Structure 1
Amino acid sequence: MSPDDIVDIFRRVLETDSVSADSDFFELGGDSLLGTRVLSAVARAHGVELTFDDIVDAPTPSALADRLASVTR
């Protein structure tokens, strides 16, 4: 999954187009409930379950894509 794929997920979940690969999920108004929606969308699209700690530690699309890549290697 590329950062652009995660940007699209962030945009859908946060209902904003103001998302780039370096946008911080929480600075854009994300919270724990919306975070679980992001993680569910990632799991559906890629078949990998990430934890809420993953989005806390990697809150940008780029960082989350890197985290996902490291888990799937």
Structure 2
Amino acid sequence: MTTTHDLPELIVSLYRDSLGDNTLDADSDFFESNGDSLAAFQITAGLQDALGIEVSVALVFAYPSPTDLAAVIASDQA
């Protein structure tokens, strides 16, 4: 199971895969990295597979960096 500490790393990995950019890091912005609705769906599907929870695409849009998205997901799970 992914821990809260590992969550940003998981999200960075999903961003890199979905956006096709291995240079992305925890502070990368989804929109500045040419993110679109398909990539957001791929990220949320990856989170559901890894964590077993449903994450809304709207959260990716509202919290566009892996660090911010991880914080919201972690607080929702607490």
TM-score range, shorter chain: over 0.9
SS at match of 2:42: helix
**Aligned-residue CA RMSD (Å):** 1.0
One-letter amino acid of the counterpart of residue 60, structure 1: S
Percent identical residues: 34
Give ranges in structure 2 of 5+ residues lacking alignment: 1-5
**More relative contact order, 1 or 2 (CA 8 Å, 6+ apart):** 1
Which residue pairs with 1:2 in the alignment? 7
- Show structure 1 runs of 5+ residues with no match: none
Aligned length: 73
Q: What do residues 19-60 of structure 1 show as CA deviations (whole Å, max 9, x unaligned)?
A: 010100111011011100100001110111111211111111
Q: Of 24, 28, 35, which aligns to 2:40? A: 35
Equivalence for 2:19: 14
